[in-house]
A and B are shown apart, each in its own frame.
Chain A
Amino acid sequence: QVQLQESGPGLLKPSETLSLTCTVSGYSISSGYYWGWVRQPPGKGLEWIGTMYHTGITYYNPSLKSRVTISLGTSKRQFSLDLRSVTAADTAVYFCARSDCTSNSCFVDSWGQGTLVTVSS
């Protein structure tokens, strides 16, 4: 059974870069599926950040695209998220996720537990 675990700093200052890593166990990223990130501001709903196919092709939320990079890690069991120039509005719980797709739409079938990232001066 696949398991995902986020890691990275929990506190950032405005204008810094948020960098998170997702470590996957029970499955090799290069074997298939889509891998990405979803975030949830405190007390609010879910927001899709972006998704990466196992080949490295990426898809990003247009509202975040200019600041986001999702990439494969050096290990076949890790992928990462970089979000540049953060502000308080980026404060959220960040979930890494494995996704599968129907014929026309993708969904998350496995979630990490989530990690809270706070942006504050």
Chain B
Amino acid sequence: QSVLTQPPSVSGAPGQRVTISCTGSYSNIGAGYDVHWYQQLPGTAPILLIFGNTKRPSGVPDRFSGSKSGTSASLAISGLQAEDEADYYCQSYDTSLSGWVFGGGTKLTVL
């Protein structure tokens, strides 16, 4: 059971917009700690997609965007492409656990 809760899977057709939620609590996201997102393609290491809730590292397309409100955060992917099919993880800090915490991951399927 992950401290940050993500849906196990989401899907969408090419060109559509999908969102992935990351639900935490008042000891992590709700305490004001920033949320970060990673994309992991099959058989590869994760890559940083969003940091500081909303910021994109250079090279990440603006189709990817992040938001945060209350005890939750979301990753939105617009203009869905076949190459976006991957696992997505949220990550933050938890003050009760005194450490980094990851969501359980969400598998995105492009139909």
Question: How far, in whole Å, are A111 and B48 apart by their CA atoms in the complex?
Answer: 9
Question: How far, in whole Å, are A21 and B44 apart by their CA atoms in the complex?
Answer: 19
Which of A46, A51, A103 is the one whose CB lies under 8 Å from B102?
Answer: A46
Contact residues on A (Cβ < 8 Å of other chain), bracket: 20 to 34
Interface membership of chain B positions 68-103, coded 1 if the CB is closer than 8 angstroms to chain A and 0 otherwise: 000000000000000000000101110001111111
Residues of B within 8 A of A95 (CB): 45-46
Task: Assess the A107–B36 pair: CB atoms within 8 A.
Answer: yes
Question: How far, in whole Å, are A84 and B57 apart by their CA atoms in the complex?
Answer: 36
Taking the nearest CB of chain B, how far is it from the CB of A7, in angstroms? 15
Question: How far, in whole Å, are A114 and B32 apart by their CA atoms in the complex?
Answer: 31
Task: Assess the B102–A45 pair: CB atoms within 8 A.
Answer: yes
Task: Assess the B48–A109 pair: CB atoms within 8 A.
Answer: yes
Which of B47, B92, B105 is the one whose CB lies under 8 Å from A46?
Answer: B105
- Which among A61, A95, A106, A113 has the greatest number of chain B C-beta atoms within 10 A? A106
Task: Assess the A102–B34 pair: CB atoms within 8 A.
Answer: yes
Residues of A within 8 A of B102 (CB): 45-48
Question: How far, in whole Å, are A104 and B101 apart by their CA atoms in the complex?
Answer: 14
Residues of A within 8 A of B101 (CB): 48
Question: For chain B residues 26-75, which have a beta carbon within 8 Å of chain A?
Answer: 32-36, 38, 44-48, 51-52, 57
Q: Which residues of B contact A (CB under 8 A)?
A: 2, 32-36, 38, 44-48, 51-52, 57, 89, 91-93, 97-105
| A/B interface sample: 27 pairs, CB < 8 A | A45-B102, A45-B104, A46-B89, A46-B91, A48-B91, A48-B102, A51-B100, A59-B99, A60-B99, A95-B46, A102-B52, A103-B34, A104-B33, A105-B34, A105-B35, A105-B36, A105-B52, A105-B93, A107-B51, A107-B52, A109-B48, A109-B51, A109-B57, A111-B45, A111-B46, A112-B45, A113-B45
